Structure 1
Amino acid sequence: MLKVLLVEDEVYMRKGIIKLVDWNGRGFVIYREASNGQEALEILRKEHIDVVITDIKMPVMDGIELIRRISEEFENRPAVIIISGYNEFEFAKAAIRYGVNDYLLKPIDEAELIQTLERIKTRILNEREYHRRKNLFEYLKRNSRFMRMIEFDEVSTIEQFETNDTTRWMGIGKKEDLQYEDDLTICESLLEVEKEVNIKFANKGIDFRCYWDSFFNIILIIETEQKNKKNQVIRQVYEHVTKRLNLQSIVFDEIKSFQNIHSFYKQLLKKLSFAQFYEKIGVIEATQIEDFEMYIEDKKLGSELIKLIEERKCEEIRYKLSQFFDECHNKKISPEIIKGYILLTLLEVIDYFEVYQLFEADSLKFIYRSSLQKSKFIEKVMEILLQIAEYVTEATKFNSSSFMKKIELFIKENYNKDITIKSIAQQFYINPIYLGRMFKKHFNMPFNKYLHILRIEQAKKLLLKTDKKIYEIAKEVGYNDTDYFALKFEEYVGKSPSKYRSSMIGETNY
């Protein structure tokens, strides 16, 4: 709604104008009323008004003087509509010299008033949109310059920011939902916060700026006079922004020199990651977070988790994980090092149980989320480990000698057909990868080798007991390609099928 200040000394005239049109329906509201120019001026000095509708002849201060004062005192002037009689046209011309182009003659015509209001509304909204986009564009340029400096260490940009007259502080907080917003929405949100803080702390001698980087971190710069560098206002500002933007934490420190701003920014990011991972809440001075360790000595976590999964001790898996993370916290291990170590550990477990099919390409993507807290991180890791444990538990139901005898019998009855470990697994409702592992463990050889040996043994019997041709025997034992059969036969027996037949028959006759 556009706010209207109605200035008219005659009460009945004001009431008549108010009743003349549906103000709210037209996008306006009669926000305040005044009986003369002086009252109107006092209101304008205290409150934001979009449109002033004023009579010309009034006591104390007339409309012309009010318009003159508005043009001189206010940078962002409200739109003004003059109400004048026919005999006041000379006054109206004077008002036009002060930039007032909208006036109505008494008695006011409803249609003319509506037309004037619509024209003013269009002009105001167009101007607002123009300034909004201009401000957003300027903000984007400013943000781009600043990000080139801190992210890419651009020297020419650093020189623009370097100054010896002030002290500057940098605070960083994470706001992940920014990644789902477009750039203009982010700009509007941060500009609003920036304006709000500068108004709230206007008498504290600070200048506050908001930026955001490529990783959707909020960068908060506070500039103060040198003598105020230890002022508690710094913390108060960051506490206000933490609540305003709903941030878990902000880590801040004084910028000693813009020449080292890139490394300063990177170090502050690491400390923010540490604070978020270990669930430190609120505004934290960087000096409160000690330097982290960049190495994990214990390399046994993977083997210990594998053992617990094999023993189906799920609660102990959770305890082992919590214990590991607590030790990392006590030793102040960097979250990035922990995440890398956990990734390798999960890959070790997945590889050991050969459960690659359980996970999609992005199943481990959560590891790289910089703002994930320790407790949620542990839960994500537990989900994966429990999924593996559940799979292994189900699979071991089939891991018995009686079950493997069923598999063996099935193969012997179907060895001459086109069977694979996958088709057998489908027949018995078991995972093919796990069946392959069980088969190799039970028979001390992989399935393919077992099948070839079984077929070759049957072929040897047929070569000796029948006079069937080689290609007929090959097909009967499961080989559609005679050359391939001959190749595999020689590989396992040491001679071709024909030589084997002749040599064995010769020995028998002898």
Structure 2
Amino acid sequence: MKYKVLLIDDEPSALEGMEMWIDWQELGFELCGTCGNGREGLQLMKQLQPDLVITDIHMPLMNGLEMIGEWRQEETDSIKFVILSGYSEFEYARTAISYGINHYLLKPVFPEEATEELREIRLELEQEANRRRIHETASGEEAAALIKGLLYGRQGDPELMDLLETLPGFRESVAWNICLIQTVPELCPEVRCKAVSLLAGCKAAVTMDLEAGLLGIVYGMTTGRGEDGGITEALDILLQEYGRANIHIAVGTQENSLLCIEDSYHRAKETLLHFFYEPEGAGILAYNGVQGKPFSYHYDHIGLMDALLDCVNLLDADGYRKALEAAARSFREQLVAPEVVRKFVIHLMYRIFGVAPGAESAGEGHGTASSLEVSEIQQTMTPLSGLLSRLLSCGEKAIDLLVREQNYKSHGIVREINQYIGEHYQESLSIQKLAEIFFLHPVYLGQLLIKKNGITFNEQLHHLRIQAAAVLLRESKLKLSEIAERVGYANYGQFLKRFEKEMHMGPNEYRHAKF
């Protein structure tokens, strides 16, 4: 770190000598300005904010000691002074001591003596800077603890409240506000360090850890126009650096007293919840932008749940997507509270896992859906769109799994049904009777047989009967009516019609045909 030095002397040759013959850079200093009298020196000190002022005593308009005396009365900022004096100016030196000045350089200034004195001064500046940092850190931590207590409704300790008055910018602040920064817990320490760094130049700004993944910045405003001293600029940089999807920033309401900051805090927390319905990249939300939009805690829980579960049970993936879109519209239109929606989604996921247990581990990668997806849903950073995306994935996996399981099971059961039909085709069989025997819905059973066999149940039944009849015609002397009855036809006319359709000739012609 380089410390800034201001040189004040009415002798141009003296200024030039000090500039040229002292290696300021090597000693850890940089010259920030020069002037020739105390009056001008006061103005430059206010403007340049030097760490060290080296001044002559005898100067026109205002001498060096008068300048120092006036500075001490008007300003509280600490500046270290070095007096340029001669051997005959001991009385002036005594006055300087009364101002707390104990560094002198004799004129004419010799570089070797000046170098030794400046090294000592630099060491003092570094020690003072370290003490200042330690004090500011300790005071800042105390202030953060006090303000955090105020956020949670605890009354401030009067002594600690007095401490705030000593911190930079607190005495001048005429209004107060809070912004909350929400991020995932693992990113929180990094975001906090970055925020503290960005706010280093902001007066009356205290950063504190609140809940897991939540930071608070309480800041004062020094004018009635609500200027925030650079807070907004710092927050914009955070958004750019970490991405708007990774951090949410909510601003509360301006309060005239720090003792009322609890109200601003609760409004900022309410504002933070509205990110749930915001698109990704919403940036910074302020309470005045969401004021008058209360969350609802009542909605058609059973209707939405049944509509989605029915689609899963019916293996209707397209219907499931449409039902989910309808649920999303309902949530948005009614502005259902985020925590209520999360409970609904988690409840539905576990219901889906109950219908299709294998869906818990059907996802790609390691872990299970119940341990990974549900934990993600519970994170406050996950918006409605993210919840619905996970819910859609869960439902589609469950339906796909159920379809595969059903196909696997149906392959085996069709074999059983075909075997039963082959053994009982001569009886009075119907799709309804088979459905009762195998505990399946008649419509589903009919569709399953067509899918697996490629023909309808009736076509299959007639085919088996006619093939059996053909064998009897070739190998027996039974009458046609007897054959029809033996293979399952109660109606002789139907037998003749079916035989001719399948064999392309009548039963008598078939019996006498030569094969």
Q: TM-score, normalised by structure 1?
A: 0.60
> Is 1:42–2:43 an aligned residue pair?
yes
Matches within 5 A, 1:296-311: 296-301=299-304, 304-305=307-308
CA contact (8 A) 2:149 2:156 kept: no
The letter of the residue matching 2:272 is L
Q: What is the aligned partner in structure 2 of residue 453 from structure 1? A: none
183 and 96 in structure 1: CA distance in 2 versus 1, 3 angstrom threshold: farther
CA contact (8 A) 1:249 1:276 kept: no
Paired residue for 1:294, among 292, 297, 301?
297
Cα shift readout 1:259-292 (whole Å, capped 9, x = no counterpart): 9987885565234313554356532327723322
392 and 120 in structure 1: CA distance in 2 versus 1, 3 angstrom threshold: farther
Tell me how far apart the structure 1 counterparts of residues 6 and 230 of structure 2 sit (CA, whole Å): 35
CA contact (8 A) 2:274 2:290 kept: no
Matches within 5 A, 1:63-102: 63-102=64-103
1:303 Cα deviation after fit: 5.5
Q: What is the aligned partner in structure 2 of residue 500 from structure 1? A: none
CA contact (8 A) 2:272 2:285 kept: no
> Is 1:364–2:354 an aligned residue pair?
no
Structure 2: any 5+ residue segments left out of the alignment?
162-172, 240-246, 416-515
The letter of the residue matching 2:181 is K
> Is 1:126–2:127 an aligned residue pair?
yes
Tell me how far apart the structure 2 counterparts of residues 182 and 63 of structure 1 sit (CA, whole Å): 48
The letter of the residue matching 1:45 is K
Q: What is the aligned partner in structure 2 of residue 348 from structure 1? A: 351
Tell me how far apart the structure 2 counterparts of residues 328 and 97 of structure 1 sit (CA, whole Å): 74
Tell me how far apart the structure 2 counterparts of residues 84 and 320 of structure 1 sit (CA, whole Å): 90
The letter of the residue matching 1:344 is H
1:323 Cα deviation after fit: 3.5
Secondary structure at the residue paired with 1:218? strand
Cα shift readout 1:388-443 (whole Å, capped 9, x = no counterpart): 567667777866627999xxxxxxxxxxxxxxxxxxxxxxxxxxxxxxxxxxxxxx
More displaced 10-residue stretch of structure 1: 342-351 or 92-101: 92-101
Secondary structure at the residue paired with 1:364? helix
Q: What is the aligned partner in structure 1 of residue 216 from structure 2? A: 218
Tell me how far apart the structure 2 counterparts of residues 257 and 80 of structure 1 sit (CA, whole Å): 39
1:51 Cα deviation after fit: 0.9
Percent sequence identity over aligned pairs: 20
Tell me how far apart the structure 2 counterparts of residues 397 and 119 of structure 1 sit (CA, whole Å): 88
Tell me how far apart the structure 2 counterparts of residues 289 and 115 of structure 1 sit (CA, whole Å): 68
More displaced 10-residue stretch of structure 1: 300-309 or 272-281: 300-309
Tell me how far apart the structure 2 counterparts of residues 111 and 75 of structure 1 sit (CA, whole Å): 32
1:50 Cα deviation after fit: 0.8
1:212 Cα deviation after fit: 5.6
1:338 Cα deviation after fit: 0.7
The aligned length equals 384
1:334 Cα deviation after fit: 0.6
1:328 Cα deviation after fit: 0.8
1:78 Cα deviation after fit: 0.8
Q: What is the aligned partner in structure 1 of residue 338 from structure 2? A: 335
Cα shift readout 1:246-269 (whole Å, capped 9, x = no counterpart): 475535347799999878855652
Q: TM-score, normalised by structure 2?
A: 0.59
1:349 Cα deviation after fit: 1.9
Q: What is the aligned partner in structure 2 of residue 180 from structure 1? A: 188
Matches within 5 A, 1:19-38: 19-38=20-39
CA contact (8 A) 1:171 1:221 kept: yes
RMSD of equivalent CA atoms? 4.7
Cα shift readout 1:315-356 (whole Å, capped 9, x = no counterpart): 765554443223112112111111111111122223322133
More displaced 10-residue stretch of structure 1: 177-186 or 136-145: 177-186
1:39 Cα deviation after fit: 1.5
Tell me how far apart the structure 2 counterparts of residues 263 and 174 of structure 1 sit (CA, whole Å): 17
